[in-house]
Structure 1
């Protein structure tokens, strides 16, 4: 079955959250897509976790932007730059090596 935009969240993610007891089951008589909101446990949290872990591991922001479907790496940086504490460390290490300095020493 091909699922449209948002269908995975409705027909896979929310039922899994309900089965795990994170959100209540869909009320009796509710439409198939009617689930209680899960702002702290929703699919978007999983997406943010995925992107954050990739960037913390050193994956290219261009690659992460492409995988997330962002139209530009600038969008990805706007949301996730704070998860990239080591940005620039490769460049600093290269310059330190060029200047004959060990990393961490002036």
Structure 2
């Protein structure tokens, strides 16, 4: 498959497709959904409804990356969103709670200050605030 790379007018690049139709053509989202995803869902006995649709994979991907600490800006690019604000509004409910991470960061900063002369002075930190 040859398409422009990175932008609509980018340099054409040819790549091998991993998922294709039996004829070797590009597999479209709708074709994958009807020919692969839905039959697989039905075969497992899982209800074939919008809560178990292929789009759930996209939300699973986003939630796994957010839970791993990926930034909204990077996730926005991975999902093809033009605006990280849209990504934040769409996936904010998936962001892990940060209270524990915040406490650990402050505890670490304060314990480093209490450590004594073993800690090199910092040009940016609590002392400069």
Tell me the SS of whatever aligns to 2:27: coil
For residue 57 of structure 2, the aligned residue among 34, 41, 46 is 46
How many residues align structurally?
Answer: 84
For residue 64 of structure 1, the aligned residue among 75, 83, 88 is 75
The CA deviation at 1:38 is 1.4
TM-superposition CA deviations, 1:39-80 (whole Å, max 9, x none): 121112222122112101101212211221212211110111
Unaligned runs of 5+ residues in structure 2 are 1-20, 113-129
| TM-score normalised by the chain length of structure 2 | 0.53
More strand by share: 2
For residue 105 of structure 2, the aligned residue among 84, 93, 96 is 93
Counterpart CA distance in 1 for 2:31 and 2:75 is 23
RCO higher in structure (CA 8 A, sep ≥6): 1
Deviating above 3 A after TM superposition, structure 1's stretches of 4 or more consecutive aligned residues are: none
* Bigger-Rg structure (1/2): 2
